[in-house]
Homo-oligomer: A and B are copies of this chain.
Amino acid sequence: MSPLDQLMKHLARLPGLGPRSARRMVLHLLKRREALMLPLIEAMTRAAQDVKGCGTCGNLGGTDPCEICNDRGRDRGLICVVEDVADLWALERSHAFRGLYHVLGGTLSALEGIRPADLRIEKLLTRIDAGETREVILALNATVEGQATAHYVAERLQPTGVAVSRLAHGLPVGGELDYLDDGTLAAALQARRKTA
């Protein structure tokens, strides 16, 4: 296989890319070898070598423990449980949470054969055993798998006596009622709050 076909084949395997977009990308890169392709190769090589998973929370970063686990300015009594590193990053971008995280690494799934032992649940219990934790916030996706996993994790956390909470359901900020699904609308209505 030619180096061109080889590269397109590898690129086409990335999420969101197909043969067509991989082709476009290869041409774009080859036309800008010095400015784009070589720096990208270098950045990729460096990331492949240097990025590590945090042994505590499961975040990805340049250090282990990660920057967040190392940050003494954060509230160490709060652990926010997320499915994936992408969710952790989304919460960080919101600047709304100043505690610690715990990445489960997926959701339970009978179909895909993902059992509790495949997720980082024991690790979470070990962290809570250390005694610093006040509250665990289950910030799992509002999907069937996410909610089933949240339910399972909540049950496992019960004996520890730590407070367990979940994200609220409701109207997205900037969202319009007319475009909202019925389930969210019902949840937003039920969780309505008194105005001041």
Q: Which residues of A contact B (CB under 8 A)?
A: 2-4, 6-7, 9-11, 13-17, 21, 23-30, 33, 36-41, 43-48, 50-51, 60-62, 84-86, 89
Instruction: Give A70 Cβ to nearest chain B Cβ, in Å.
Output: 13
With beta carbons under 8 angstroms apart, the residue of B4, B6, B29 that contacts A61 is B4
A7→B43 contact, CB < 8 A: yes
A21 to B25, CA, bound (A): 14
B40→A44 contact, CB < 8 A: yes
A2 to B52, CA, bound (A): 12
Instruction: Give A46 Cβ to nearest chain B Cβ, in Å.
Output: 5
Instruction: Give A8 Cβ to nearest chain B Cβ, in Å.
Output: 9
Residues of B within 8 A of A4 (CB): 47, 51, 60-62
- Extra contacts, 16 of them, besides A4-B60, A7-B43, A16-B17 (Cβ < 8 A), are A2-B62, A3-B50, A4-B61, A7-B46, A9-B43, A10-B36, A14-B36, A27-B60, A29-B44, A29-B48, A30-B48, A30-B60, A40-B44, A41-B41, A41-B45, A44-B44
Q: Which residue of B lies closest to A13 (CB)?
A: B36
Residues of B within 8 A of A16 (CB): 17, 21, 24-25
- Given the known interface contacts A10-B39, A15-B24, the answer about A2 and B44 at a Cβ–Cβ threshold of 8 Å is no
Q: Most B CB atoms within 10 A — which of A3, A85, A89?
A: A3
Q: Which residue of B lies closest to A14 (CB)?
A: B25
Residues of B within 8 A of A28 (CB): 14-15
